[in-house]
Amino acid sequence: MNTMKSLKRKLMYEGLIFKVWQEEYEIKSHTLKRDIVEFPETCAVLPIDNEENAILITQFRYPLKKELLEIPAGKIDPGETPEEAARRELMEEIKMSPRKLSKIGVFYLTPGYSTEKIHIFIGMDLEKAPLPEDLGEEIKIHRIPLLELKNLMNKGEIEDAKTFLALLYYFHFYWKK
């Protein structure tokens, strides 16, 4: 049951990708403020190559000042379905397209302060289909055996949440080993 009542909403910042709002609301006769990041919907795909390997990427994540091992992902453009965006992201980031795309689910990444919702897929039966990569992305493509990825997860070396979630789902519901 929602007992919060919105009182005021003020745009604090509008950037290239997201907006930051400050909202004032009332709950149990107390007035509180909260900063909220309004972020577009995104998608991510775990590409599986021949049921033995996954194709992941590394890219430098500027806010963290380091590279992360991740599944391909990106924003869903206006007018684009999550499935179309997922296929496009794979073509941009790993130069392949899945003949089979299965949706894992839709998740909120950080609901305490952001509206970002991500659609996560598993892509299989991959074929070459390159698209130019996005400006500003320096992506390295890695074909990694699934057993090695499972070991990286067990050692806490998969730090990206969407990647961890997609791998966990794949190992639980798809993997036959």
Residue 133: active-site member = yes
At 152, phi and psi to the nearest 5? Answer: -60, -40
- Token digits for 156? 């806490």
- Distance CA(158)–CA(48), nearest Å, equals 17
The residue length of the chain stands at 177
Q: How many distinct helices (H) and strands (E) make up the chain?
A: 3, 10
Choice among 133, 138, 148, 157 that is catalytic? 133
Which residues lie across from 98 on neighbouring strands? Answer: 126
Q: How many CA atoms lie within 13 A of 170 on its CB side?
A: 28
| Residues labelled catalytic | 133
